[in-house]
Structure formats: structure tokens, C-alpha cells
Structure 1
């Protein structure tokens, strides 16, 4: 199976290593890719684990899992990584009504104890 993150690698050689905890994402971009894959699979547990601890109260594992399940995640496009802890991306998906959607975001990540975490994102047009 090709990895949902569009890296061109197999899932086993890419995001699965992060999802199982065998490895931690070495960069903010790698974490972004693994989080996209976690929506595509879906894996709400991983999405919560990789959310910055101080921000978890604003998220819910069940909601993250459901958002992954109700949509078909079709493509991830990394637009740019302007700094080590920022990633601009476009996530393409088909919503529950069968309509194509685009989620364009500039995400902020933070490294703590040698691990990257998602902190927040700004939606872009």
C-alpha cells in the first residue's frame, strides 16, 4: 500500500513507523505527513498523541477519528516549510456528501523532549 502522505514510499516504510511508535517524526514536515496519514487511515489516537500537550484540551480523540472516517483523504501537498516549525500544506479530500474539498493551512509545530507536536494552524484561502 502506498503511504497516504504522498511521499512515494510504502506505508510500512513511511508513516506506519510513526503510527506504531517505532520511531518519532524527525521534522515538523514528517509529523505533518504522518498526521495526514492518520486522518486517512484513520488513527485518532495518534492524532491526539501528536497534539501539543497544552492544546489537547481543545481536541477530542473521538472527533478526530470521526473526521478521518467520514472523509476520503485523497492527496497531501506540502506547499512550503518557511521555518523549522511551520508547514504550509493543502489536504484534499472527499466529504461525506461526495464533494471534493480542500483544507489549506499554515501549521505551527513545537519540539519538546526530542519529539515534534502539532500546536495550531491558520486556515488559508
Structure 2
């Protein structure tokens, strides 16, 4: 896992430093309070190749046993396009986003659920 530089903006696109943004979720100091916050933290985990966090925040019924990161993949930005439910008052939620990488982008509508009190990623549909 890559070490963040203090004071740098978080890869998720929000203006806070990594340590105050997604870093606190990655370290386990806090849990993502919304489906969108979890999705942003998972994007950042992909940027940082944090397999442990990605697997920990994946629903057990759909979670793979491990992840393979493409060593040539360079994520370059995240754009949240739409959210549906996924707040502290919901048990399910969706987040539609575009994640850009060098040479292209991934457009997905992700589904999230609360599992044992925490938001987890269930699955998603790619949008062309």
C-alpha cells in the first residue's frame, strides 16, 4: 500500500487531505457514514491498491477471495453522477459514478447495503 503525503488532497475528489477524508475509513478509525462516502473511499482504496480495505467493505455474499490489481492502471479522477438513498436513514443505496484512468473511464451504478451496521459494496452494473 502506498503511503499518503500529509496535506495532499484525497484521491476521491473531495478537498480534504487524505488523512481526514478516506484515510480515516481505511485505517478503521471511522466507518463511512453514507453509501457515497463508502464508494469514494473504495475508489481511493483502488488508487492506493488497498486490498484489505476493499475486501473488508465488500458484502460477504458477493466478495471475491482476493483481488488482482493491474500494475499499469493509473486512476486519474472520480466524478459522482448520482446517488439514491444510502444515507444514515437507509439500509440500501446506489451511487452512479465515472472513474477515469489513463486511457479511458469506468462508468458504473453501484449497489450498497448495510451489513452488521456498516455500509458495504454489493455489486454494480457497468454503463456504456
TM-score normalised by the chain length of structure 1: 0.87
1:48: how far off?
Answer: 0.5
- Give the distance between the partners of 1:11 and 1:23, measured in 2 at CA: 13
Q: CA RMSD in A?
A: 1.1
- Give the distance between the partners of 2:78 and 2:14, measured in 1 at CA: 9
Structure 1 gap segments, 5+ residues each: 95-99
Structure 2 gap segments, 5+ residues each: 1-7, 87-92
1:54: how far off?
Answer: 1.1
Check if 1:43 corresponds to 2:46: no
Q: In the TM superposition, what are the counterparts of 1:9-88 in structure 2 within 5 Å? A: 9-56=16-63, 59-63=64-68, 66-67=69-70, 69-84=71-86, 85-88=93-96
Moved more, 114-123 or 80-89: 80-89
- Give the distance between the partners of 2:100 and 2:108, measured in 1 at CA: 12
**Structure number having the greater helix percentage:** 1
2:117 aligned residue (107, 114, 117): 114
